[in-house]
Amino acid sequence: MNILIFGPNGSGKGTQGTLAKDKYGLDHIESGAIFRKHIGGGTELGMKAKEYINKGELVPDDITIPMVLDVLGESKNGWLLDGFPRSLVQAEKLWEALEKDGVALDYVIEIKLPRQIAKDRIMGRRLCENNPNHPNNIGIAVIAPDGDKCRVCGGALSSRDDDQDEEAINKRHDIYYDETTGTMAGCLFYKNMPGAKYKYIELDGEQGINEIKEYLMGQLV
């Protein structure tokens, strides 16, 4: 089982993606986690990627595409791909690679959310040291953290510097909501694929977490 998920930063993509991943026992392949691993390890690739990420810009395709495809190729259990593709070119390159290798794509999930709401959620979210996909957001009552501790596991929380930088957030959303060459263009590439054999699922990101979960689980059959 292989799943591709789209959603702007702040849409709850990590939370809903984890549900889909757990349902099928998939490897969660998240481009941001790949970058953070290299950044934390102080690798040359990580330092180059950090320059772009901190400015809210895309890491160049000649770094990102081969790295993601290599990780997909290593998966033994099937995968949930999160945070990639982020442009029309990346979407096309990914599809070409899957077709070339005979890898089936089973579901494409899109979480839809207005831009301003997404921005507000980003600035309120907090990351758990044990699992960054544990939902914690100081601006959303149902997932508000327990003080400075994760509401799920009690781990220490922190906020990413770029989550508090409105200019960087705007740049990231400029990329995501761009329907010509950006992430939404890539999303539409899969949504409008002629003769696609995968199922395309649209989720309303303004609904509550449980409502989205219930609908998503009903679609993943």
Query: Does 36 belong to an annotated binding site?
Result: yes
Q: Is 16 annotated for ligand binding? A: no
Tell me the per-residue pLDDT of 2-48, one tens digit each, with 9 for 90 and over: 999 999 988 888 888 888 899 899 998 887 777 887 788 888 878 88
Note the pLDDT tens digit of each residue in 170-212: 988 999 999 999 999 999 999 999 999 999 999 999 998 889 9
Q: How many beta carbons lie within 10 A of that of residue 122, not counting itself?
A: 25
What is this structure's pTM? 0.81
**83 annotated binding-site participant:** yes
Question: The tokens 């770094």 sit on which residue?
Answer: 63
> Would you list the DSSP string of 98-118?
HHHHTPPP-EEEEEE--HHHH
12 annotated ligand-binding residue: yes
What residue segments make up the domains of the chain, in order of their start?
2-26+77-219
Q: Cα–Cα–Cα angle for 88, 91, 97, nearest 5°?
A: 140
- Look at phi and psi of residue 102 and say left if phi exceeds 0, alpha if psi is from -120 to 50, else beta: left
CATH 3.40.50.300 fits 2-26+77-219, yes or no: yes
Residue 68 marked in a binding site: no
The answer to whether 58 is a known ligand-binding residue is: yes
Distance (Å, whole) CA 207 – CA 203:
9
Tokens of 184: 């939404």
